Structure 1
Amino acid sequence: MFSLGADKAITRYVNEVLRPTPGMKMLDVGCGPANILSYLPSLDYTGIDLNAKHIAYARRRYGDRGRFIAGNAADDLKQEGKQFDLINISALLHHIADSEAISLFASLARLLKPNGRIVTIDNVWLPRQRVAVRLFNYLDSGTNIRTPEGYLRLLNGMGFDVQTLFLNDLLRIPYDHIIMIARKAS
């Protein structure tokens, strides 16, 4: 993964998009082995993933630097209402169906502090997309890559103000990413 420029990409994503601050409470949904934790300042980190092996690895690697939960964010965090300043969802939405994503966002909305943010990043279909990017999208294991409108529809009617950003230079290979930053509408 590092050969694709992941180290530089994660650093850029954290610094330019997530912008975490020391002490904030962060939830990382679909955290995998929690690799992003190495790039974060000292904060109150919770990572959740369905893959128990990834969670076990994260616990071994990071110890008490975070809390790691093997489970489903939509079901297994209900007791944590309005706890998180920042909720990160990296490269997950294009792996789940619309109904699952909508359920996930509804659950996460209840976990977000009033001034908190949900930030997502996924690959995207764009008009007049470069041929190489289209090829990588077709080869991706995610079967639900969406257009920008498709991603935004997942948040319809949930009371969020959503800002979208597009990056086409995050990795060394040609890839287009959509970033959504969702805040509760005031």
Structure 2
Amino acid sequence: MAQITSGIRSILSHPAMYNFTQNFLGVRKARRILTSEYFPNKKGLRILDIGCGTAEILEFLPEDIHYVGFDASMQYIEQARQRFGNRGEFFSELVNSAHLNHLGKFDVVLAFGVLHHLDDPETAMLFDLAVEALDHNGSVITVDPCFCPEQSAIARWLIEHDRGQDVRNENGYCQLASTHFSNITSTLRHDLLRVPYTYLIMNCKNEAEQSATSDASEHQ
């Protein structure tokens, strides 16, 4: 995982400062838009959140979901448990296949602000786990800062100084996802924060698997 955690960036390792900074920038708006416009409209969603941070996404999710969050930071997970302990399962470790064996399948695998901290092999490993975790009609939703020609100079500067050291352009993210998924929808958003910033939202599915499942059902 490539990220800078020294100097001024080190304060973001503290949950209270992390949440304050995100709220100041307007990440609450981004989470609200993400859950309302990009999540499946389905009751009782099973959500696996990889790199969940302090699990603030739960503020914008309905009560009937089953939520499982993983983050390497014990401090973040402790904060999540304090605020949302009765609404999900929280693990202060990296998710792996052993976890998935007893957690079951998920409708959504969420990676909000994760891929730009991972190099290409690490991203492939994350997608491997996501494919393993997904139900047959599930989807992976990722959100990351993104370079693009039309973004403002301020947005580019902010992204260049992000803790994550593997920010890519839209094509770069999509190419990585295409090794695991046959159906990828990508959307550039410049309006999710209070400051100029560019996010790429990807929704990744495997249509071939869905079609095969559908065909099998029709012939039963």
Q: Choose which of 27, 30, 53 in structure 2 pairs with 1:6.
A: 27
Is residue 95 from structure 1 mapped to residue 110 from structure 2 by the alignment?
no
Contact 1:27/1:86 (<8 A) preserved? yes
Report the alpha carbon displacement of residue 135 of structure 1 after superposing the two structures with TM.
0.7
Pairwise CA RMSD of aligned residues? 1.6
Q: 4+ runs of 1 displaced by more than 6 Å?
A: none
State which drifts further: 6-15 or 73-82: 73-82
Aligned to 1:145: 167
**Counterparts of 1:145 and 1:129, CA distance in 2:** 14
TM-score scaled to structure 1, two decimals? Answer: 0.93
Compare the two structures and name the one with the higher strand fraction.
1
User: What is the aligned length?
Assistant: 186
Contact 1:118/1:182 (<8 A) preserved? yes
Aligned to 2:37: 16
TM-score scaled to structure 2, two decimals? Answer: 0.79
Contact 1:74/1:108 (<8 A) preserved? no
- Matched to 2:46, the amino acid is K
Q: Choose which of 54, 67, 71 in structure 2 pairs with 1:49.
A: 71
Is residue 37 from structure 1 mapped to residue 76 from structure 2 by the alignment?
no
Q: Structure 2 regions of 5+ residues with no counterpart?
A: 1-21, 209-220
- Matched to 1:79, the amino acid is N
Contact 1:28/1:46 (<8 A) preserved? yes
Partner-residue secondary structure (3-state), 1:122: strand
**Counterparts of 1:184 and 1:80, CA distance in 2:** 23
Report the alpha carbon displacement of residue 10 of structure 1 after superposing the two structures with TM.
1.5
Is residue 70 from structure 1 mapped to residue 127 from structure 2 by the alignment?
no
Report the alpha carbon displacement of residue 19 of structure 1 after superposing the two structures with TM.
4.1
- Matched to 1:108, the amino acid is A
- Matched to 1:64, the amino acid is N
- Matched to 2:162, the amino acid is D
Aligned to 2:49: 28
Q: Structure 1 regions of 5+ residues with no counterpart?
A: none
Partner-residue secondary structure (3-state), 1:53: helix
Q: Choose which of 205, 209, 220 in structure 2 pairs with 1:183.
A: 205
Partner-residue secondary structure (3-state), 2:85: helix
Give me the identity figure in percent.
Answer: 31
**Counterparts of 1:74 and 1:15, CA distance in 2:** 29
- Matched to 2:71, the amino acid is D
Partner-residue secondary structure (3-state), 1:50: coil
Which protein is bigger by CA-based radius of gyration? 2
**Counterparts of 2:100 and 2:27, CA distance in 1:** 32
Distance 1:184 1:80, change over 3 A: farther
Partner-residue secondary structure (3-state), 2:24: helix
Report the alpha carbon displacement of residue 160 of structure 1 after superposing the two structures with TM.
2.9
**Counterparts of 1:145 and 1:72, CA distance in 2:** 21
**Counterparts of 2:53 and 2:120, CA distance in 1:** 21
Compare the two structures and name the one with the higher helix fraction.
2
